[in-house]
Amino acid sequence: MATSDLVVIGAGPGGYVAAIRAAQLGLDTVLVEKREALGGTCLNIGCIPSKALLESSSLFRRLHTDVDLHGIRVSGVTLDLATMMARKDGLVAELTRGVALLMKKNKVSVLHGTGRLDGPGRVVVALASRGETVLEPRAVLLATGSAPVELPFMPFDGERVVTSTEALSFAEVPKSLAVIGAGAVGLEMASVWSRLGAAVTVIELLPQVAPFADADMAKELGRALKKQGIRFHLGARVTGATLDDAGVTLAVEDRRGRPLEVAVEKILVAVGRRPFSDGLGLETVDLAPDPQGRLLVDKEFRTAAAGVYAIGDLVEGPMLAHKAEEEGVAMAEILAGRPGQVHSAVIPSVIYTSPELAQVGLTEAEAAQEGREVRVGRFPFRANSRARAMGETAGLVKVVADAETDRILGVHAVGPHVSELIGEAVLGMESGATAEDIARTIHAHPTLSEALKEAALDVAGRAIHS
């Protein structure tokens, strides 16, 4: 039986970052992970491999569609999917090894196995090698992440009906692919396989792509993806599926209630994820998830069970790796007696399509629902000189500001590399910046970031280049 200050169950972005920060603060920390490789879903079968494929597939597509405009003549370009997948797998392996080295550097003890609560103050780890070990830590952090949601009438089979995990490792480009769900995962995977040659159809229950996004941004992104050849059925409901040797035929009800059929080789179900607390032994400390599967925590990430904390996808808020990381840091600092908090109002979100979508804060509609009077500034990338030089002019930046105080309430963007621009908006909102503050900040010329400056100027009707 071993004692420690903190046992972290789950080595995803939230868990391993919490373990590092706790160790930095002098806490004796043990990290428990059931996978052989650290990094959780994000690093192994989520954020990182998907971005690798997005980069590779984007390069492949540009060689076929864009380079002629730059005076570059290319012929005989073919796809070597095996090599593309090997690059993706190599990147994942390199980064997971990096996380393991960080554990050694910070003197975090790592146990490979499945951890579970076993009453107050006890954690049992079924070791991957063999046997069990019992830990008696001062605190336990649950950071076990989430799992894909399955449609009841169409269970995953790993071949024809797949999760994003299988969609990241297809051995061949499917001739046709239906994606159910137009959120980040669905649109990113739709982009990858469409670029590589699949006929892709996206089916979304709600009336817009990226249902969480500002309506203007969703419309702009949807328009761009349609131009790339992705077909959409929005406001449509999948009511059934028939599987046979040829693939899957979906029964769909369109937005007007009319029936239609979508026959494809493979189906990617990307309708969301559920908190993963299976087998954690919650009942041994009188904990139970809420109806959405989440654990209730206070502002310091404490559950109702003494000494048990939870972060990331297990608790309320967006299921995002960077949100889990910040919660992990805050929890470790609180446990070490320091102040720690996460400002949930300024957590950015991104869809890494082309163009990208990035946002932080309130949408224009959300601000109106809260009864706020706002002023809005917009600036299109077609008027941005750097975007024009790049040949990537789709999209715009939108700034939502309080009409009375000029405080920035939200920033929303669709365009090239806007995932890299949104950080400025987050910093501004964290610092209580006004639209005027951004408007008077000197931005290098020519840069994409000037679009944010111009949108901030436009809040007061002072945009220079539009």
> Catalytic residue numbers?
445
Tokens matching residue 38: 């650290």
Residue 94 CB partners (closer than 8 Å, separation 6+) = none
Dihedrals phi, psi of 172, to nearest 5 degrees: -135, 155
- Cis peptide bond N-terminal to 446, omega within 30: yes
**CA proximity to 308, closest of 145, 125, 109, 143:** 143
**Residue 161 · residue 29 · CB < 8 Å:** no
Cα angle 313-319-322, degrees, rounded to a multiple of 5: 100
Dihedrals phi, psi of 30, to nearest 5 degrees: -120, 130
Task: Tell the burial category of 225 from Cβ atoms under 10 Å away from its Cβ (0-12, 13-18, 19+).
Answer: buried
User: What's the chain's length in residues?
Assistant: 466
**Residue 46 · residue 181 · CB < 8 Å:** no
Task: Tell the burial category of 149 from Cβ atoms under 10 Å away from its Cβ (0-12, 13-18, 19+).
Answer: middle
**CA proximity to 11, closest of 112, 140, 101:** 112
Distance CA 319, CA 340 (A): 20
